[in-house]
Amino acid sequence: MAVPPPFESFYVEHRDGVFGFLVRRLGRDRAEDAFQETFLRALRSYGSLTHASNLRAWVFTIAARVAVDEHRRRRPAVANGEPTFEERRPAYAELEHLADGLPPKERAAVVLRYGYDLEYADIAFALGSSEEAARQAASSGVRRLRRQGVSL
């Protein structure tokens, strides 16, 4: 398994891409706070990484989670004038543990596509690959999961 570089090097390498991703998802004003939260979360768990071979996908997964959290905070769910609460876990939380046995790129592609509903262009950007390669990684991951009896 790949040994992660010092956090500062990791940050310098990925900060511009993550910020651009968050701006596209949230707009510039909200992206600044989400950017800080993304790298704070990354720093907290950096020393205990289990998938250090694809740090780009890892940090974009964190950024996607932060963006989802930001959307939830900004848009309270209300029904009949009363707040509603989601009883089940979010799709990404349910999917992540199911995808743990997949190769890293397939795992990232499956979680980003089916857990976060990202477009293949965004997944390709996160993986540092082409859109077609992102689509293929997600497809291969789904096929592997189906062979294990998991349906998405």
- The model carries a pTM of 0.57
Mean pLDDT score of the chain, rounded to an integer? 82
CB count in 10 Å sphere of residue 129: 18
Domains, the chain, in order of start with CATH, read 1-86 (1.10.1740.10), 88-152 (1.10.10.10)
The residue among 38, 25, 29 whose CA lies nearest residue 66 is 38
Beta bridge partners of 83: 78
The residue among 61, 48, 55, 69 whose CA lies nearest residue 12 is 55
- pLDDT tens, position by position, 35-93: 999 999 999 888 888 667 789 988 999 999 899 888 777 655 555 556 555 555 555 56
Mean per-residue pLDDT for 116-124? 84
